[in-house]
């Protein structure tokens, strides 16, 4: 839990609460590590995988609808802006 909360920049207590909720909804499960009983692995269940697939399809469909309303100049401007944001995030991450 500690490694996951650090990676996502979330306080450990908040991460535990979120993991509890996802486990209750059967999207993830806690699996004890075979070699270190202090470690608990978080794994995605089949239900969690299906939820992610469905969510991605919904998001893609929504993005297509939104972007289809833009003219070519607006799409070009959006593309440049996204590239700037991507490069800025990569700099912050030190990549």
* The domain defined by 2-93 carries CATH number 3.40.50.2000: no
**Hey, CA dihedral for 70, 76, 82, 88, is it positive or negative?**
negative
- Tens digit of each residue's pLDDT (9 = 90 or more) over 1-52: 788 888 888 898 899 999 999 999 999 999 999 999 899 999 999 999 999 9
Q: How far is 57 from 52, CA to CA, in rounded Å?
A: 9
pTM above 0.85, yes or no: no
Q: How far is 40 from 32, CA to CA, in rounded Å?
A: 5
Q: Where are the domains of the chain?
A: 2-93
Q: How far is 37 from 31, CA to CA, in rounded Å?
A: 10
């Amino acid at each position: 839990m500690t490694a996951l909360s650090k990676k996502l920049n979330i306080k450990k207590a908040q991460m535990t609460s979120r993991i509890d909720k996802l486990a209750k909804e059967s999207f993830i499960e806690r699996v004890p590590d075979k070699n270190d009983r202090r470690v608990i692995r978080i794994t995605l269940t089949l239900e969690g995988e299906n939820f992610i697939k469905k969510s991605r399809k919904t998001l893609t469909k929504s993005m297509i609808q939104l972007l289809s309303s833009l003219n070519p100049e607006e799409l070009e401007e959006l593309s440049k802006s996204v590239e700037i944001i991507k490069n800025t995030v990569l700099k912050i991450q030190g990549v």
